[in-house]
Chain A
Amino acid sequence: MPLYLLPLFPLIGFVLLICFGRAFRGALGGVIGSVAVAASFVVALLLVLNLSGPTHEVLWTWLPNMAQNSNLKVGLYLDRLSAMMCLIITGIGTLIHIYSISYMRGDRRYTRFFAFLNFFVAMMLILVLADSYPLMFVGWEGVGMASYLLIGFWYSGRNSEQSAGALREASDQEGVANSNAARKAFIMNRVGDLGFMLGMFLMYKAYGTLVIPELMQQGEALAQAGRSVIELMCLFLLVGAIGKSGQLPLTTWLPDAMAGPTPVSALIHAATMVTAGVYLISRTHFLYDLAPGASLWVAWVGGLTALYGAISALNQYDIKKILAYSTVSQLGYMFMAVGLHSYTAGLFHLLTHAFFKALLFLAAGAVIHALHEQQDVREMGGLHRRMPFAHLVSLAGVLAISGIPIWSGFFSKDSILTSAYEQNLPLYLIGLLVALLTAFYMGRWYFLVWRGEYRGHAHPHESDAVINAPLGVLAALATLGGFLNIPGFLGGSQALSRWLSAAVPFEAHELAISTEWGLTIAAVAAGVLGLLGAFLLYRRQAITDVPLRELSRNSLYLDQLYDTVFNRPARGIAGGLDLMDRGVDGTVQGIGENVGAVGHVFTFWQSGFVRSYAVSMLLGTVVLVGYWAVKALGGLG
């Protein structure tokens, strides 16, 4: 089965929905979008089941290189790494599409929403299937575009056509905020893209090719480019990965991206696109293996981001922002793992995180829906009685992300912490602290939303089956996903890691079994302690702020710092230029007006009366003819 079918189906869905959107009434657009992605999922499943070795498929050539007579080809490459990504993208994508059929019902731009989602899935598949960095960059920019379009999806607010004045005004303000969030994401990602491009240029200069399988075949021979060059390449690529994955210091766009509809938050800003950074580094492992310095950078960026996200999530009030900072933090874990060359651990966490974070976002969406767009956790509480199903699946998500045994997060987090302990003790301690904080803020989230008494004014109700079915599937995956990769000391064989080891290096832990048990007990203890702490704090009174209140609510003042360092000087320069522009403009305008005034003097000649023009013509003719006559007759004398 040809690989190009994978991105083709969603692309067809996109073209259909964007060009003939008006033809699809009601939920039909959503069904078409879902079917397109589901078809891709079936293809991905068939491909993975029949995958014996890496498949490389060349489609056509582009970007001609006259000098070396070696044109770059558009090719798709499927190995176990990209196969796993394809399954995540199409599988979770299908669930989220189905969920959106009901969630987005009644939206004015319903069909358009599914067109964008399909476009996103197609681009994401191109990103992971690309056989060369430039093609990966095409997908990379495509998903950035889709993310931009979907963050700003409600660019005019949700009630812009309401007649009530106050409601419309609030909606207008919301629209401006949404558009700004979209722009912020777009611009911060451009900074990262510069890094990606510089990395590509350097790689081309050093090796003369950007085709990933060719680079991989060179193996150790890649080292001849020199250590410093490879380190620089990897650092540039890291900048690109940081931009897409919302890591420090380019992290502030990801929480703002929650302005988009909730399915978008689940699909793009939790499960797939933001993990592209982790994918890029895993895909480029052959270079990172030769660059210990850059790898250490990756690990530390990840560790610090994990801590930053966890601290920021502690005191948020928005039900989705808590989850957004949590995503930042969990992505930090993945970076930490791939930075420590434990690619399989990082990718395993990527997989389980996709399950449980998509689940949590969709459950939050169900809550937001039931409470009529209320997103403030202070206005929630006690929802477990009114929405028992959503409560149950959320509980699964919380237990998974907190690393409670048998739920998937436990296995993946544990394998990251184990490899961190093995290689870098400070990072391990940070990771353990983050695990504690994660369990605590997720406990806070859980108790504020689901337990206690209801504090809002809406009438919450259980969602319909179209929303609940994907939630149920994701809850099952989040609960059982960990069993794909049971570590050795628990009697498993690390099946997923071994399966992935055909594509990325596999690191067997060389720790004593007793140490592994100790690490696991410490990690579980952190999770239990965090949940217990949240339980004790929020059991009696609903809204208690935890330590680091202001610091955490303002996410360590990073936005304010950027405002001071970048925005204010930029605004100053812009103001100066504006003043100058107005000066130049005024001068030009003044010249124009003066010329106009002179011209105006002559307009009194233009009376508009045809007959007076005729008279002046006659007089002129008489004068001319008289002159010629006098001249012809030899003068007056």
Chain B
Amino acid sequence: MQIIKDLHERMVRIRLFETEAGKLMEAGKLPGFLHLYVGQEAVAAGVMAALRDDDQITSTHRGHGHAVAKGVGFREMYAELYGRVTGACLGRGGSMHINDLARGMLGANGIVGAGVPIAVGAAFAARYKGEDSVAVTFFGDGATNIGAWHEGANMAAILGLPVVFVCENNGYAEFTPQSGHMLLTDVADRAAAYGMPSVIVDGMDAVAVHRAAAEAVERARAGAGPMMIEAKTYRYFDHQGVKGLRHPYRSDEEVAEWKARDPIDLLEARAIADGTATRAELDDVWRRTRDEIAEAIAYAEASPLPDPADLLLNVYSG
């Protein structure tokens, strides 16, 4: 089944991009912050496999996975993490602002929840221009406590816009567990407040995420308005960085439990069991991706830094 291979490759690309970025950060090679996506790969892969290049996404501060899955190149992403002029943002944006308009990646965002109304605007533009593209906005559980999230949800609903709301519920708003920041068990319940249908999926199961996303995307594309998907997932690394655990806000047992249901392991077991792929074929994906990443990192490290004389470039248009 081709979709299994597609999901697998997207997830491996995210996993390796992120783990290598984490190593670079640990080695002190990257400036700024790094919010790693490892563990949540099934969500980005499952949703993005249901999208076309002209479909738009807005992402979060944990945005690398979305960018990779949407097809943004490793070279410009690593170069941006390094602050090089060849980066996706010419070294002006960094990890939290990677974009690629050709791929419909309208940007990761340093402000929690801020991408939600922007996706609503992108969907508005699609309908205004008579195009059938949709917009997907990714956000975490914590972002649904922000006003912009609620305003964006209501705005999308009342205007009947083709927006898919994807909650990546990893159980923590930074370091605060979900029980400490909302009384709900399911974030999806919030969709009902805006007359928006919703579905809850296992966010470690890329196939399940993909099915839900395909349905929501087709529904939006057909003009039936917004829908919300809540994917229950988990991040393996800390909120920021690789090993910044200054206080034990979650237990080793909890992390181990989630890792036992690793989204890539689950999909590989499934692919081998149903004969979709052999172990050797899957290993080949890892190997090819590693090579591509090593080349991209070398490219980034060899790239020039921005010229301080160009500091004011792109503050304004024209």
Partners in one complex: no
Where the two chains meet, the residues of B that have a C-beta atom closer than 8 Å to any C-beta of A are none
Where the two chains meet, the residues of A that have a C-beta atom closer than 8 Å to any C-beta of B are none
